[in-house]
Structure 1
């Protein structure tokens, strides 16, 4: 996958968030509701959300008492998130970070109890970059901490449709998606404890996804 696609997708998402404030609404996603309960069961207090956008899931985690660091490469999305957090009295529990996940995560080693990423890993990222990102997640997670992520998979109706960019990436309607197969999920879980690969559907079409839970082993 070339850098041109990466740059085009960054610009695309920045424009989408700027032109469509709160485009996903104010209610948390179903995966975030599930992850919030899973983090609570594990006694988590701090969570990193990757690809937070305008923050509907970040705000849900914060409302449940978690301290959340929310990363996204869209300044307009994070501005909406900061404003919504202030309006709801949650600013003390939310810290936003303008960050591209193609770069190392701006957090210290073993500094968070959980990491959540709803459809972030299946953006226009090469397999090598996804592996590097999951390695960074392992670095910042405390031992015993959980990564909960969701991805569209190769059973999705849009897999193989639209413009092919190689490496499992297809662009449809301006959105490029890296569709996961089970081999990639298993590869990303090497050195982790893979706890769940749960199929579910979301939105129109509908989109077909997996919810994956893997934990960093305790040293």
Structure 2
């Protein structure tokens, strides 16, 4: 990232806070398609608990909870997580959901080998440098149990917004106040080094439409289903 990386991170945090305040439950209550897919993947792997990074107001975290998983939801927006907790209480799943305000530039607030699965929908392609993305993936590997599953989605360099808007360097471009790190394929492959890469699935989402990859990879080691 360029020298304004820290300033950009702070600006993005404030932007998301104000966005969730102005538009409560902005993504609705229905889960994303990647979360629905991840539910099936997690269940087949014998997953019991899920860490969601960048949970926002919680449409996907709440879906996982309704499906019977214990969910740890993190986001750097306290406003979004307040909305998540309120909805969890209304749906009667608050006993299966915990929330933590956290910036993924910092170490994950979990012990080593403490969670079965990690889910992140468009979190890795926020305003993070390539170095920060690698550090985050290392942290995810640290907190996953052996054989744990990581499902994430990212916008990629085939997206219509790639290369336009305000350029911040390192394949990060800003549109409408939102900064996105667009992934080249070699970055996906680099993040899978030391893992078993199960799938890189192309899909589209939204009105533009946004073009994304859904990536599923497993930490090498014994799987949960063998316990």
TM value normalised by structure 1: 0.99
- SS of equivalent residue, structure 1 residue 145: strand
Cα deviation digits, residues 142-170 of structure 1 (max 9, x gap) = 11111000000000000001011000100
Paired positions, count: 219
Whole-angstrom CA distance in 1 between matches of 2:81 and 2:150: 22
Q: 2:172 aligns with which of 169, 174, 180?
A: 169
Whole-angstrom CA distance in 2 between matches of 1:125 and 1:178: 7
Q: 1:83 aligns with which of 69, 86, 101?
A: 86
- SS of equivalent residue, structure 2 residue 72: strand
Q: Within the alignment, does 1:191 sit opposite 2:194 as a pair?
A: yes
- SS of equivalent residue, structure 1 residue 130: helix
Cα deviation digits, residues 86-107 of structure 1 (max 9, x gap) = 0011011000011010000000
Q: Give the match for residue 149 of structure 2.
A: 146
Q: Quote the offset at 1:209 in angstroms.
A: 0.1
Whole-angstrom CA distance in 2 between matches of 1:143 and 1:14: 35
Q: Give the match for residue 212 of structure 1.
A: 215
Q: Within the alignment, does 1:180 sit opposite 2:186 as a pair?
A: no
- RMSD of Structure 2 on Structure 1 (CA): 0.7
Q: Give the match for residue 162 of structure 2.
A: 159
Gap regions ≥5 residues in structure 1: none
Q: Quote the offset at 1:113 in angstroms.
A: 0.5
Q: Within the alignment, does 1:58 sit opposite 2:78 as a pair?
A: no
Q: Give the match for residue 225 of structure 2.
A: none
Whole-angstrom CA distance in 1 between matches of 2:120 and 2:174: 20
Gap regions ≥5 residues in structure 2: 223-227
Q: Quote the offset at 1:171 in angstroms.
A: 0.4
- SS of equivalent residue, structure 1 residue 180: coil
Cα deviation digits, residues 181-201 of structure 1 (max 9, x gap) = 000000101111111000000
Q: Give the match for residue 92 of structure 1.
A: 95
TM value normalised by structure 2: 0.95
Q: Quote the offset at 1:3 in angstroms.
A: 1.1
